[in-house]
Amino acid sequence: MAQLGAAVVDADMEQAPSNTARRPRILLAASGSVAAIKFANLCHCFSEWAEVKAVASKASLHFIDKTSLPKDVVLYTDEDEWSTWKRIGDSVLHIELRRWADIMVIAPLSANTLGKIAGGLCDNLLTCIVRAWDYNKPLFVAPAMNTFMWTNPFTERHLMAIDELGISLIPPVSKRLACGDYGNGAMAEPSLIFTTVRLLFESRAQSGSGNSG
């Protein structure tokens, strides 16, 4: 079992009694964009406020410094998905995580993972969670990619498809990109992603549609 993965469904994943106030449960996921260098920072922003679990695609691991993640944030990877599954009746990680989370946030969302989600593909832990997502619960994405990918006609088609599913977009911004180009496609700042998600959670909680646990 991966040291950080601990893909065992422990008491932590079980539902708290519904009359007990609890912290929001935020599932943060990173896909394969250079902007995943900011994933640890994003985890720190959220873990001040919420219970956080993290999911990383194989490509994103190239950019994530695992040692910089908050100590209480478990990082799940594709290896964890089936490593502890032995027989029928054992828990399936992507289902346990979609059940556990109040909100999912994919930041960065790469062009490739955007295309997969828009097309309903699910070939890794991250996309299996999205494919099984309960759209009564919010799912945010913060895309990050080169400007030429962002302005490619596929992006608009894919954004329309995920919008129809009920996924909320935190748009990219214009700045210097990893390759030296200047243009749109840079991931929104972690602080903006955090405030966007928190505001939505708190407005839903006030209106009674959030999960107040």
| Nearest residue (CB) to ligand PCO, 111 versus 118 | 111
| Nearest residue (CB) to ligand PCO, 30 versus 117 | 30
Give dist(CA 166, CA 134) in Å, integer.
10
Whether a cis peptide bond, with omega within 30° of 0, leads into 108 is yes
In the bound complex, what is the minimum distance in angstroms from residue 162's beta carbon to ligand PCO?
A: 18
Q: Catalytic residue numbers?
A: 94, 179
Rg (CA), the chain: 17
Give dist(CA 27, CA 55) in Å, integer.
7
* Contacts with ligand PCO, residue ranges (CB under 6 A): 33-35, 37-38, 144-146, 175-179, 181, 185-187
- Write the CA distances from 149 to 60, 140, 207, integer angstroms: 18, 20, 38
In the bound complex, what is the minimum distance in angstroms from residue 171's beta carbon to ligand PCO?
A: 12
What are residue 162's phi and psi, to 5 degrees?
Answer: -75, -30
In the bound complex, what is the minimum distance in angstroms from residue 111's beta carbon to ligand PCO?
A: 9
Do the Cβ atoms of 128 and 81 come closer than 8 Å? yes
| Nearest residue (CB) to ligand PCO, 24 versus 172 | 172
Query: Where does residue 127 rank: exposed (0-12), middle (13-18), buried (19+ CB within 10 A)?
Result: buried
| Nearest residue (CB) to ligand PCO, 124 versus 146 | 146
Do the Cβ atoms of 50 and 25 come closer than 8 Å? yes
In the bound complex, what is the minimum distance in angstroms from residue 196's beta carbon to ligand PCO?
A: 16
Q: Which residues, in sequence order, are bridge partners of residue 25?
A: 51
